Amino acid sequence: MNTILVPTDFSPVAEHAFDLALQVANKEGGQIVLLHIIEHPSSSSVHYMGVVDADPMESIFIKKMIEQAEAKMADWLAKAEGKGPEVKWKIKLGNPYIEITEQITETKCDIVIMGTEGTEGMTQELTGSNAERVIRKSHVPVVTMKSKCDVDKINKIAVASGFKDATPDFIKHLMQLQKSLNAELHFVRVNSPGDFQSTKYDKKLMGQFVSDYGFENCSTHIYNDFSEEDGIVSFAEEIDADMIAMETHGRTGIMHLLIGSIAEDVVNHAKRPVWTLNVKRESSVKES
């Protein structure tokens, strides 16, 4: 693993993400890029340490925000000093989720680790969190988390899938994740009223899946619930999983509003870290 991107707003959940990134970098090697975005509606008119065609008071305010961010970055770097991995940092002006997705490409990172508070109710429906939007756009795995996590204690991963249409990219990254963590994989197929299949069919499907891809140190499960997202979260709680892993198809716009995203709902409601990989498909009935 070469580069880990860690977006930060200097909140406690972001600090948990940075701590996990330090652990992963020490375990796997590589560097960390800390990224802070100062939200600004028209960043095209603003430069890093100066303002073009902007109100003088706005210029002063932005410079003050940059100075505060630099001071906080210095504190975080001081805490990380002597812990092993190289840590670089960036401060950007603009829309947080747009800047994060651009930095995924610019830094050529292998994974994004970020904290999230999650969103609830109408706020979730109308806006969604920055973490949700990053998951929707990222072409590399994204780990979201709400609390402190010890990488050496991630021994059991609940893996949600449809199994019959899992992509090679998802399989490759999932195998890398399992190898890196030396973890057990608990594959689960959630049966819900809107997506029901017989137990006999599911057992055969999952057995073939495990056999075809040569997975080891794993087990298969069928779990019934009223919705797929609730089933995934409940199953992970029931087996006391240390992490949830799943793929998402990254729909945006009107299709996202109409169909929604199981992965993003899981990220919002799960208490444990969630590893997601956005795998685009030209055609699919429902995003997961």
- Which CATH number does the domain housing residue 111 bear? 3.40.50.620
Instruction: Name the average pLDDT for the chain.
Output: 85
What range does the domain containing 185 cover?
A: 151-278
For residue 96, being part of any structural domain is answered with: yes
Residues 155 and 107 in one domain: no
For residue 258, being part of any structural domain is answered with: yes
Task: Taking residues 162-178, report their average pLDDT.
Answer: 91
Strand (E) or helix (H) holding 51: strand 50-51
| Three-class secondary structure of residue 174 per DSSP | helix
Residue 124: per-residue pLDDT: 38
Domain finish residue from 61, 88, 115: 115
Calpha distance 22→151 (Å, rounded): 10
Domain finish residue from 71, 89, 115: 115
For residue 134, being part of any structural domain is answered with: no
For residue 129, being part of any structural domain is answered with: no
Residues 103 and 172 in one domain: no
Mean pLDDT is lowest, of 121-130, 186-195, 229-238, for 121-130
Calpha distance 260→257 (Å, rounded): 5
Calpha distance 114→91 (Å, rounded): 16
Q: What percentage of the chain reaches a pLDDT higher than 70?
A: 84
In a 10 Å sphere around its CB, with 0-12 CB exposed, 13-18 middle and 19+ buried, how is residue 44 labelled? exposed
Calpha distance 288→280 (Å, rounded): 11
Residues 174 and 99 in one domain: no
Residues 58 and 163 in one domain: no
Calpha distance 181→154 (Å, rounded): 7
- Select from 196, 187, 264 the least CA-distant residue to 224: 196
Residues 257 and 166 in one domain: yes
> Number of H helices and number of E strands within the chain?
10, 12
Give the pLDDT band of residue 54 (cuts 50, 70, 90).
low
Give the pLDDT band of residue 39 (cuts 50, 70, 90).
confident
- Number of compact structural domains in the chain: 2
Residues 99 and 159 in one domain: no
- Residue 122 scores a pLDDT above 50: no
Would you give the distance in Å from CA 158 to the centre of its chain?
15
Residues 104 and 155 in one domain: no
Strand (E) or helix (H) holding 243: strand 243-248
Residue 86: per-residue pLDDT: 92
Residues 85 and 202 in one domain: no
Residues 95 and 171 in one domain: no
Calpha distance 284→260 (Å, rounded): 13
> pTM for the full model?
0.87
For residue 146, being part of any structural domain is answered with: no
Q: For 70-103, how does the pLDDT look when each residue is reduced to its tens digit (9 = 90+)?
A: 999 999 999 888 888 899 999 998 888 889 999 9
Give the pLDDT band of residue 45 (cuts 50, 70, 90).
very low
Residue 88: per-residue pLDDT: 95
